[in-house]
Chain A
C-alpha cells in the first residue's frame, strides 16, 4: 500500500525525521521542531516578510497541536525572532529584492556558516535550501540543538573550524558577528537621538500610534505600551502603516499629538528598527534614573541572567555565543552564562545597555 493513513502524532514524528531531528518520547511540537520547520520554510520562501514565514509554518501545523492557533502563532513568531538573533535568518533593511527600484526590509535565509565559541565548540548558522543540513552525516549526528541554536562540539584533536571551512561553510568572525553600535553613554545616545528627532520636518498627522511609557515599571515590558492621551514629550513609539508590520521610531508629542517622528532603522545602518528602539529606551530609562533591570539566578554552571525587556540583537547574540538560551522564569528572556564569563558579561550589560541588577525575584 503506497498511501498510508497516519495519525497527527505520526505526522509530527515524520516531520521530525524529515528535518533530521532526533525522535522524542512524546510527539509534541517543541521549540527545536519549530525552529527546524521555520528554517525549512525560509529556505523555500525567503526573501519574504516574517509574517509570511509564520503563516506558512502555522498552516502546515494546523490540526497537529492542541493549543489555540493564536498561542501557536505567538510561539512561531518568537521562534522567527530567535532565528534572526541566532543568525539563521537575516533581517536586512534597505535591500533590493524583486523590484530594482524599490528597497525594503526583508528576511533572508543566511548562507551556511559558523561562529567559533570561546570554549572550542562552534555555533552553526544558516540554511541550505534543499537540504536539512550542509554537513555530512558524520558531523550532523553530532549537532546538539540548544533551543533554537545548533552547536557542534569538537572531538579530541579535531580542528572543527578547519573542517567546516573545507566543507565550504563561511566562518564568521566573532567580532563581525557580535558587532554592536559604538560605545557611548546613555545620555550621549539619548541626546543624539533627540537631535535627530528635532531635525525632522513636521510629521503631519500620525494616527493610531503607541508609545512606550517610561514612567511605567521597567520590569513589565508589555505593560509599558499604551496609546497617547494628552502628554507631551519624546517617546519610543510604533506607528502603523497601510500594509506590513508597524514601524518603529522616536516620536515627539505635544498634547498627545505627534508633531515629529524619526523612523527606525536609521538610513545606512545595519541595526533593525526594533533594536535601535529598544536600545534607545534603555538609554531613556537610565537617563531618567530608572534603569532597566536584570536578575542573576545562580545555577550549577554559573548563573542565569533574566531580562524583563527585549534586548537588541547584537546583545542577545553575545549572550548566546558565550552562554546558551535558558528556560524563562517570569521574565522575557533568559540566558545561562558560565561562571568564568559572568563578570565580563555583567559589565557588558552595565556599560552597553545600562542595565542594573535586581537583587531578588519579586
Chain B
C-alpha cells in the first residue's frame, strides 16, 4: 500500500533529523536534495502533491515533500525560467500555490535542519528561486561546466586537502571566467561549491561526515558520468588529484618549499602566481644592427587571483612602454605571452605596462615585477640560433659572444674590449663583446666595472628537457608536474660537489673528471621560487667548500596552465574582441568589434550558432569568409548585413545563448560563448506565427508589483502605463512596436520590439517618430537625455529594429541640440547628416558655430586629434577654446565634448552637477557647437555611426 503524504512527511522529517544530528559536529549544512528517496518514490510523492493541489487542499502539512519536489525541479532546471517550468509541471500552482509559501518552507527547512541558505549576489537578486536551485546542489545544466572547471583546475586542486571549502570555492570562482554568467553566479556561493568539490574529489570527512550524503553524491557522479566528456573530465581530475595526493613526490616536495612558497593559505597561491617577469631578447635586423624585443608574460595568473582583477584586466586597455603610443585592446594581457619590439628604451625599473583605467593592485604588481632588470648595463648572450637572450645573472663565459646594452652613450669609448654595433631602439646603445678563451686580468676587471662577472669553473644546464625561460646562466621556469634534471660540468679539477636546495641540507656528490658531466635530478617542486646552490670541493674529506657558490640556479615553479579549447595563443592567429565577454544582445546588436591578424592571404570562417534555453540548436550559420587580416570595419559591415536577415531575426528572438566561432583550418579556432543577460526583472519575447509577444518575468520575490510602461515607435516620448497582470501573462505586440520598460525597485529592464508592416516599398520599413510631446519650453533637457538613454540602451528585438531605433535616437538627438544650440544649428546638423560629403552643408555648420571665425576652421582642420583618445583630445580642445577665447575652463570643455558625443550617458552625473553644467553650457553655446562639429566630423568617418552623429569616442 502506498504511503500517504503524511507518511512521506514523517519519513522525510526522520531522515533529515538524523542527517542534521550527524552533521551537527561539522560545518556542513543540509541540502534538500539529500532526501534519500528513489526515483519511483519521488514520482509517487509528486503525483500525490499535484492531486492535493488540484483539489485545493491545504499544502502546509506536507511542506517537506514540497521542499523536495521544488528541489527536484531545481535539479532538472535548464537555466531558463524556473517558474514557468514549475507551473507547467505543477498544474494549478498559479492559482492554488504561492511562491512566498515555498520560500517560507525552505526557510523553515534551513532553520530546523541547519539547511543551506542561498548566498551571493545572485541569491540576492533571485531570492525565491535561489532556494530550490541551491538545494539542488548542482543543477543538471551546470554539471557540464562544473566538470570542465574542475578539469581545468586539476593542477591547482591537488592541494585541496589542506584547504577549507570556502578556499576551494574561491579558487573556482576566481578561475571560471570563461564559463557562463549563470555558472559564475552559482560559483559566488563559495562555501557550497567548495563543499561539492571536496565531496567529488576527496574522501575527506569531518566528524565522520562526508560533505554530501553518499547516495546523493553517487547520484551526482552518475549524472556527471552520463555525458562522455563530463565523465572523462571528472575521472581525469579525480585520478590526477588522487595521484598527486598519494604520490611520493608530494612528501618530498613539501619539505622543500622555499620561504616564499612556505607561506600558508590563499596568500601562498597569490605570491606564487604573481610572477610576471618580463625578459629581454635581441634579434638581428641588419648585419650589425639588433632589434630589442620584450617578452610580456600572460597576466592570466593574476586574473586567476580574483574576479575583480580579472574584470579589471578584461575591461581596460594597456600600453607597453617603449613600443609606441598604441593602446592595446582590452584583455590583451590575458592571452598568452606576447612579444613587442622596443622602439625606445623604457629605462631600468620603469613599469613596462600601463593601464588606461588604473587599478592599485595591478599597478603595484606591474611596478614590482613587469619591468626591465636593473641597469645600467644589460647583458645578452648570442645563441647558436643568432638570437641574444638576456642573462639576468650577468655572468660571462670565455669563448662566447654577447651584446651589451647601456643607457650611457659612452660605453664603447670607455671600454676598448667592446666593438660597435647598433640597436633599433632610442635611448640605449649597444656594443658587441667577443670573449676570448683565456680571460686576462685587465679584461676581467673591465667587465667587473660594468657589473659583469666572468665564470670559469662550473657550467650548469637543464638536461634532457628544455626549460622554460632558461637564460643559459641560472634562471629557469618549471611546472609543479616536472622533476627538473640538470647537467653539471667543470673545466678545472673538482673532487666533490655540494648541492643544496633553498639553503637546506647539502647533498655531496663525487665529481667526474674535468670535462665529463654529471647529472642530478630534483623532485617535483611546489609552486614558488626555489634556489639550487652548487659548491665545489677539493679532497674527498673536505667538509667546507673551496669557494663561494660555484653556481646558483633559480627555479621559478608554477602550476601548468591547462590548454583551453577555443583559444588561440601562438598559433599564428591574433584575435581581438572588444568588449572581451559581450552578451548575446550586445553581439547581435553589432556592439562588438572583432579583428583578426594572421598570415596574409589565408582565410578565416566566422560562424554563429544560436541555442534555446534547453540547449537545442536553433540556427548555425556562416557569417562570412574573410581574408586575413580582418579589420573591425570589415567585420562590422559584414555582420550588420548578416544580422539584418529577417529569418535570423526571428530565430534570435527565441535564442537563449549563442556561440561565435572563428575558424582557420589548422591555425585553430576561437570560440566565444554568448548569453542573454538574465536579470531578476526581464522582458521575454517570443514569436508566435511571426507575431512577437512580450511577457514580463519577475524573479525579485517582492510583494509590490513592477512598474511597466510602453513607448511606441510612433510616439517615442509619450509613455503609456501597462497593467502588471497583463504583462505577466504576456500579450502580442501591436504595430509598429516600441519600447517596453519595467522597473521593480532597483531592477530595471528595457527592450524595443519591432513589428514590420507588410506594405509595398519602403513605407513599412522605417517609422517616422512623432516628437511633438517634446514641444514647448517646459520640457526639461534632462527629460530628453532620459529618453535618449532609454532608447539607446534598450535591448533590441525584431526585424528592422536597429534601423527604427536609430531613427528615434537620431530625432531625439536633433531635438536635444535644437534645444541647446538653437533650431538653425539643428537643421544644419540634419542636413549635414543626410549628406556628410557635401561641402556646402559642412560650411554651413562651420558658419553657425559662432565665435571667432578661426575657431571652427581649426576644429575642422585638426579634428583627427580627437583620435588620440579623449584625454589628449580634451586637452587639445580646451587649448583651442582658450586660444580663441571661447572658454578658459577645461572642465566645461570636457563636458561640452561629452554632451556632444556621449549625451545618453550624462545622467550618471549627480543631478545637481548636471543641472549646473547644463546651465553653464547654455551660456556658452559656441563651445558646445564647436564640440558638436568635432563629433559630427569624427562620426562621419565611422561606419554605422554617421547617421546618428555620435562618434565612438571612449570616455
Residues of A within 8 A of B (CB): 1-8, 10-12, 14-15, 18-19, 37, 40-41, 44-49, 51-52, 54-64, 87, 90, 92-100, 102-103, 106, 108-113, 125-126, 128-131, 134, 136-138, 163, 166-170, 172-173, 176-177, 179, 242-244, 267-270
Q: How far is the CA of A2 from the CA of B462 in the complex (A)?
A: 17
Q: Which residues of B contact A136 (CB under 8 A)?
A: 232-233, 235-236
Q: How far is the CA of A114 from the CA of B409 in the complex (A)?
A: 54
B239 near A137 with CB under 8 A, answer: yes
A131 near B560 with CB under 8 A, answer: yes
In angstroms, how far is the closest chain B Cβ from the Cβ of A186?
24
A129 near B563 with CB under 8 A, answer: yes
B517 near A55 with CB under 8 A, answer: no
Which one of B380-388, B837-845, B928-936 is at the interface? B380-388
**Given that A94-B600, A268-B600 are known contacts, is A99 also in contact with B569, CB under 8 Å in the complex?**
no
Cβ-closest chain A residue relative to B499: A3
Q: How far is the CA of A175 from the CA of B468 in the complex (A)?
A: 36
Q: How far is the CA of A2 from the CA of B258 in the complex (A)?
A: 14
Please pick, from B504, B519, B666, the residue contacting A177 in the complex, using a CB distance under 8 A.
B666
Q: Which residues of A contact B772 (CB under 8 A)?
A: none
A62 near B387 with CB under 8 A, answer: no
Q: How far is the CA of A168 from the CA of B562 in the complex (A)?
A: 12
A11 near B463 with CB under 8 A, answer: yes
Q: How far is the CA of A54 from the CA of B569 in the complex (A)?
A: 21
Most buried by A among B341, B571, B597: B571
B668 near A110 with CB under 8 A, answer: yes
B485 near A6 with CB under 8 A, answer: yes
Cβ-closest chain A residue relative to B144: A166
Confirm or deny: B349 has a beta carbon within 8 angstroms of a beta carbon on chain A. Answer: no
Cβ-closest chain A residue relative to B670: A111
A-B contact pairs, 27 of them (CB 8 A): A3-B521, A3-B532, A5-B520, A8-B519, A15-B464, A18-B465, A45-B466, A49-B385, A49-B387, A54-B385, A58-B384, A59-B461, A60-B461, A63-B489, A64-B464, A90-B571, A90-B572, A102-B341, A113-B668, A129-B561, A137-B236, A137-B239, A168-B563, A177-B666, A242-B284, A270-B599, A270-B602
Q: How far is the CA of A112 from the CA of B562 in the complex (A)?
A: 12
Q: Which residues of A contact B467 (CB under 8 A)?
A: 60
Given contacts A46-B570, A242-B284, 11 further A-B contacts (CB under 8 A): A41-B466, A90-B667, A95-B599, A98-B341, A99-B340, A108-B570, A110-B667, A111-B668, A130-B479, A136-B236, A166-B229
Q: How far is the CA of A110 from the CA of B464 in the complex (A)?
A: 23
Confirm or deny: B501 has a beta carbon within 8 angstroms of a beta carbon on chain A. Answer: yes
Q: Which residues of B contact A95 (CB under 8 A)?
A: 572, 597-600
Near A by CB (< 8 A), chain B positions 455-505 give 461-469, 479, 482-483, 485, 487, 489, 499-501, 504
B565 near A167 with CB under 8 A, answer: yes
Which one of B26-34, B111-119, B286-294, B308-316 is at the interface? B286-294
In angstroms, how far is the closest chain B Cβ from the Cβ of A2?
5
Q: Which residues of A contact B564 (CB under 8 A)?
A: 168
In angstroms, how far is the closest chain B Cβ from the Cβ of A69?
10
A172 near B501 with CB under 8 A, answer: no
Q: Which residues of B contact A52 (CB under 8 A)?
A: 383, 385, 387
Q: Which residues of B contact A4 (CB under 8 A)?
A: 520-521
Q: How far is the CA of A14 from the CA of B571 in the complex (A)?
A: 29
B560 near A130 with CB under 8 A, answer: yes
Confirm or deny: B509 has a beta carbon within 8 angstroms of a beta carbon on chain A. Answer: yes
B563 near A128 with CB under 8 A, answer: yes
A3 near B507 with CB under 8 A, answer: yes
B563 near A130 with CB under 8 A, answer: yes
Please pick, from A6, A55, A166, the residue contacting B519 in the complex, using a CB distance under 8 A.
A6
B597 near A14 with CB under 8 A, answer: no
**Given that A14-B485, A55-B384 are known contacts, is A90 also in contact with B666, CB under 8 Å in the complex?**
yes
Q: How far is the CA of A129 from the CA of B563 in the complex (A)?
A: 7
**Given that A92-B572, A111-B568, A111-B571 are known contacts, is A60 also in contact with B601, CB under 8 Å in the complex?**
no
Q: Which residues of A contact B235 (CB under 8 A)?
A: 136, 138
Number of residue pairs spanning A and B whose beta carbons lie under 8 angstroms apart: 226
In angstroms, how far is the closest chain A Cβ from the Cβ of B622?
15
In angstroms, how far is the closest chain A Cβ from the Cβ of B870?
23
Q: How far is the CA of A176 from the CA of B605 in the complex (A)?
A: 12
B483 near A18 with CB under 8 A, answer: yes
A243 near B287 with CB under 8 A, answer: yes
B466 near A37 with CB under 8 A, answer: yes
In angstroms, how far is the closest chain A Cβ from the Cβ of B153?
13
Q: Which residues of A contact B523 (CB under 8 A)?
A: 2
Q: Which residues of B contact A242 (CB under 8 A)?
A: 284, 286-287
Near A by CB (< 8 A), chain B positions 833-875 give none
B519 near A11 with CB under 8 A, answer: yes
Cβ-closest chain A residue relative to B603: A270
Q: Which residues of A contact B293 (CB under 8 A)?
A: 98
Confirm or deny: B908 has a beta carbon within 8 angstroms of a beta carbon on chain A. Answer: no
B 436-467 binary contact with A (CB < 8 Å = 1; else 0)? 00000000000000000000000001111111
**Given that A7-B519, A129-B561 are known contacts, is A1 also in contact with B228, CB under 8 Å in the complex?**
no
**Given that A63-B487, A130-B479 are known contacts, is A110 also in contact with B571, CB under 8 Å in the complex?**
yes
Confirm or deny: B518 has a beta carbon within 8 angstroms of a beta carbon on chain A. Answer: yes
In angstroms, how far is the closest chain A Cβ from the Cβ of B159?
18
In angstroms, how far is the closest chain B Cβ from the Cβ of A228?
24
Q: Which residues of B contact A102 (CB under 8 A)?
A: 341
A51 near B465 with CB under 8 A, answer: no
Near A by CB (< 8 A), chain B positions 270-293 give 284-287, 291, 293
Please pick, from A2, A48, A93, A267, the residue contacting B256 in the complex, using a CB distance under 8 A.
A2
Confirm or deny: B252 has a beta carbon within 8 angstroms of a beta carbon on chain A. Answer: yes
In angstroms, how far is the closest chain B Cβ from the Cβ of A272?
11
**Given that A51-B386, A94-B599 are known contacts, is A169 also in contact with B565, CB under 8 Å in the complex?**
yes
In angstroms, how far is the closest chain B Cβ from the Cβ of A175?
10
Confirm or deny: B803 has a beta carbon within 8 angstroms of a beta carbon on chain A. Answer: no
Confirm or deny: B591 has a beta carbon within 8 angstroms of a beta carbon on chain A. Answer: no
In angstroms, how far is the closest chain A Cβ from the Cβ of B681?
36
B385 near A92 with CB under 8 A, answer: no
In angstroms, how far is the closest chain A Cβ from the Cβ of B215?
27
B562 near A131 with CB under 8 A, answer: yes
Confirm or deny: B73 has a beta carbon within 8 angstroms of a beta carbon on chain A. Answer: no
Confirm or deny: B665 has a beta carbon within 8 angstroms of a beta carbon on chain A. Answer: yes
**Given that A37-B465, A47-B570, A167-B232 are known contacts, is A269 also in contact with B521, CB under 8 Å in the complex?**
no
Q: Which residues of B contact A60 (CB under 8 A)?
A: 461-467
Q: How far is the CA of A18 from the CA of B597 in the complex (A)?
A: 35
Q: How far is the CA of A110 from the CA of B521 in the complex (A)?
A: 31
**Given that A95-B572, A98-B340 are known contacts, is A63 also in contact with B517, CB under 8 Å in the complex?**
yes
Confirm or deny: B255 has a beta carbon within 8 angstroms of a beta carbon on chain A. Answer: yes
Most buried by B among A3, A128, A268: A3
Q: How far is the CA of A109 from the CA of B570 in the complex (A)?
A: 7
In angstroms, how far is the closest chain B Cβ from the Cβ of A43?
9
In angstroms, how far is the closest chain B Cβ from the Cβ of A90?
6
Q: Which residues of B contact A61 (CB under 8 A)?
A: 464
A62 near B666 with CB under 8 A, answer: no
Q: Which residues of A contact B499 (CB under 8 A)?
A: 3
Q: How far is the CA of A207 from the CA of B520 in the complex (A)?
A: 48
Confirm or deny: B80 has a beta carbon within 8 angstroms of a beta carbon on chain A. Answer: no
Q: Which residues of A contact B3 (CB under 8 A)?
A: none
Please pick, from B469, B563, B663, the residue contacting A134 in the complex, using a CB distance under 8 A.
B563
Q: How far is the CA of A168 from the CA of B568 in the complex (A)?
A: 12
B 569-589 binary contact with A (CB < 8 Å = 1; else 0)? 111101000000000000000
Q: How far is the CA of A242 from the CA of B283 in the complex (A)?
A: 12
In angstroms, how far is the closest chain B Cβ from the Cβ of A42?
9
Q: How far is the CA of A269 from the CA of B599 in the complex (A)?
A: 9
Cβ-closest chain B residue relative to A29: B464
Cβ-closest chain B residue relative to A7: B519
B 896-920 binary contact with A (CB < 8 Å = 1; else 0)? 0000000000000000000000000
Q: How far is the CA of A1 from the CA of B500 in the complex (A)?
A: 11
Please pick, from A40, A96, A179, A268, the residue contacting B597 in the complex, using a CB distance under 8 A.
A96
Please pick, from B232, B340, B561, the residue contacting A130 in the complex, using a CB distance under 8 A.
B561
Q: Top 7 A-B pairs ranked by shortest CB distance?
A: A168-B565, A111-B668, A268-B601, A98-B339, A128-B563, A15-B464, A130-B560
